Amino acid sequence: MGDHRRVPARLRVPVAAAAGALVIALAGCGTARTATLGGAPAGAPTDQPSGTAYGWFAYAGTATGEPVGGDHGIPGPVDALERADLRLPDHADVRRVVTQTSAGYAESYLFVFRVPAAEADDFCSQGGLGGARPVSSIPEAVAEDLDHPAVTARSRWCAGPAPTDARWSRYAVIVPGAGGDPATTHLLLQRAP
């Protein structure tokens, strides 16, 4: 009798090829990992189940199965970042991504992510956002769509239209972490029709 624990010779190459393809596919995809999200406020929309966070490159439609743009040609959060002339920091800990319905906008997306404070400030230096500056006031409609971040005296923000498509309004509020913890950034992208 043969060893029942071994893969038959005729299956070794196809099984090895399938395993290799799976490893390559998984290496290019965001993988869910446990994170403390502290639940969303009652009635707040969320595209991710509580308790998970995804790498920045894989969040759109991950929990909903919706098309995500890019090669699909269908607008989505990942595609919106690029179209709004922005890129999340490479190691951003994405906590929430929400596709919103907001009056007067063809598209509206909320991203909440955590990065070290210096990286959050650097984020505000890209794509014409004008750099991080103290929060003086946030228009109520914008604060609502940003999910009312807990602004403190140390909070900073940046805002501005996208340089290549002025239909995109972009707002980011940086809430510093306590005692050296990463800053939480609420990013709102909205495209006028």
Predicted local confidence at residue 38, as pLDDT: 36
Looking at residue 178, the DSSP 8-state letter turns out to be: G
pTM for the predicted model, two decimal places? 0.63
Express as a percent the part of the chain with pLDDT over 90.
47
For the chain, residues with pLDDT lower than 50 are: 21-74
pLDDT per position as a tens digit, 115-164: 998 999 999 999 899 999 999 888 899 999 999 999 999 999 999 999 99
Sheet holding 107-115, edge to edge: 93-99, 107-115, 183-191, 168-175, 156-161, 133-134
Longest Cα pair distance anywhere in the chain, in angstroms?
79
Helix (H) or strand (E) run with residue 6 in it:
none
Task: Write the CA distances from 102 to 17, 20, 83, 193, integer angstroms.
Answer: 47, 44, 18, 12
Question: What are the residue ranges of helices labelled H in 39-126?
Answer: 77-83, 117-123
